[in-house]
């Protein structure tokens, strides 16, 4: 049997180095922060996702709040699946056997090892939305996660809207602005996206079933276009760790800039 050649580990990231980089961009005690991490972007982190979550919790402490998306978008009607698509011959089997969303047990989809490690930590709570849930830890965890709306789950009755009210921040490790879930709030505050009907398997009065809900056809591809304005106003604090870009910025300013940009540049014709 032939073994593929693995790249030799030439450099590593320690917890101490990560903590130093995070503090350099302004992360600190008692902050309320939405966090997105691409673990692989940092290369070899000694201790992996555990090290990253430990570092974040130690810096922010329970006097602050960590918020991470824990989406379960596979919990949807299989006829809408794209990556990968599902053959019509198995649609009914999937519908009949999909487990109802459970904040304690439902797996994440493409959220990364750090979010998965984080959601399993003691004291972390998870919101009840069947596809667009969040996990949170710290002072305002319940404030952020307790009342997420089924319809339009990233709009005004959402963890990101509560974080906006708390004047929180966003930390990106190895990702760009398209990963910042809070920026979707700007799409709801404008008239730039069409409404769609989604379906998810969930428990209603203790009974498993499929339920429809309304949302927007969200699109994060425009979010990077506000970077020049954030830079011009000195709102982005950034550094590089082992070729990985780490960014910190205020939620309010970023959502407001995105709202202005979308209002001026992206219009859904049906509405105007």
Does 54 score more than 80 pLDDT? yes
Looking at residues 55-74, what average pLDDT do you find?
Answer: 96
pLDDT band for 127, please (50, 70, 90 cuts). very high
Spatial contact of 133 and 72, defined as CB atoms under 8 Å apart:
yes
CA 49/CA 53 separation, integer angstroms: 6
CA 225/CA 227 separation, integer angstroms: 6
**Which pLDDT does position 7 carry in this prediction?**
80
pLDDT band for 271, please (50, 70, 90 cuts). very low
3-state secondary structure of 107: coil
For residues 161-198, one letter each, b for 16 or more C-beta atoms within 10 angstroms of the residue's C-beta and e for the rest, the string is bbbbebebbbbbbbbebebbbbbbbbbbbbebbeeeeb
Can the peptide bond before residue 84 be classed as cis, meaning omega within 30 degrees of 0? Answer: yes
pLDDT band for 6, please (50, 70, 90 cuts). confident
| Local structure of residue 45 (DSSP, 8 states) | E
pLDDT per residue over 16-38, tens digit each? Answer: 999 999 999 999 999 999 999 99
- pTM of the entire predicted model: 0.92
In the chain, where are the structural domains located?
Answer: 12-75+103-183+220-266
Q: How far apart are the first and last CA of the chain?
A: 63
Residue ranges of alpha helices (H) inside the chain are: 15-24, 48-60, 91-97, 113-119, 141-145, 159-165, 184-188, 227-232, 251-265
CA 59 from centre of chain: 20
Share of the chain above pLDDT 90, in %: 86
Q: Return mean pLDDT, the chain.
A: 93
**Which pLDDT does position 269 carry in this prediction?**
52
**Which pLDDT does position 272 carry in this prediction?**
44
Which one, of 99, 105, 91, 92, lies nearest residue 208 by Cα?
Answer: 99
CA 89/CA 74 separation, integer angstroms: 18
pLDDT per residue over 164-198, tens digit each? Answer: 999 999 999 999 999 999 999 999 999 889 999 99
Question: What is the bridge-based pairing of β-strands 32-37 and 169-173?
Answer: parallel
**Which pLDDT does position 245 carry in this prediction?**
97
Looking at residues 74-81, what average pLDDT do you find?
Answer: 92
Spatial contact of 170 and 235, defined as CB atoms under 8 Å apart:
no
């Amino acid at each position: 049997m032939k073994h593929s050649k693995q790249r030799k580990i030439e450099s590593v990231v320690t917890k101490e180095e990560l903590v130093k980089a995070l503090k350099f961009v302004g992360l600190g005690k008692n902050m309320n922060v939405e966090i997105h991490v691409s673990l692989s972007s940092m290369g070899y982190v000694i201790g992996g996702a555990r090290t990253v979550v430990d570092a974040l919790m130690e810096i922010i402490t329970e006097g602050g709040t960590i918020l991470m998306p824990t989406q379960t978008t596979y919990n949807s009607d299989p006829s809408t699946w794209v990556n990968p698509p599902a053959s019509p011959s198995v649609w009914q089997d999937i519908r009949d056997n999909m487990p109802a969303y459970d904040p304690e047990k439902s797996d994440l989809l493409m959220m990364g090892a750090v979010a998965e490690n984080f959601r399993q930590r003691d004291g972390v709570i998870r919101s009840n939305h069947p596809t667009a849930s969040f996990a949170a830890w710290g002072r305002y965890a319940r404030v952020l996660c307790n009342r997420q709306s089924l319809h339009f789950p990233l709009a005004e009755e959402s963890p990101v809207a509560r974080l906006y009210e708390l004047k929180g921040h966003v930390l990106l490790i190895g990702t760009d602005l398209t990963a910042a879930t809070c920026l979707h709030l700007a799409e709801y505050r404008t008239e730039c996206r069409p409404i769609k009907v989604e379906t998810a398997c969930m428990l209603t009065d203790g009974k498993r079933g499929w339920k429809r809900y309304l949302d927007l056809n969200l699109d994060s591809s425009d979010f990077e276009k506000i970077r020049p304005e954030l830079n011009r106003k000195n709102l982005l604090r950034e550094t590089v760790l082992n070729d990985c870009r780490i960014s910190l910025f205020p939620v309010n300013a970023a959502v407001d800039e995105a709202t202005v940009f979308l209002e001026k540049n992206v219009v859904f014709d049906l509405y105007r």
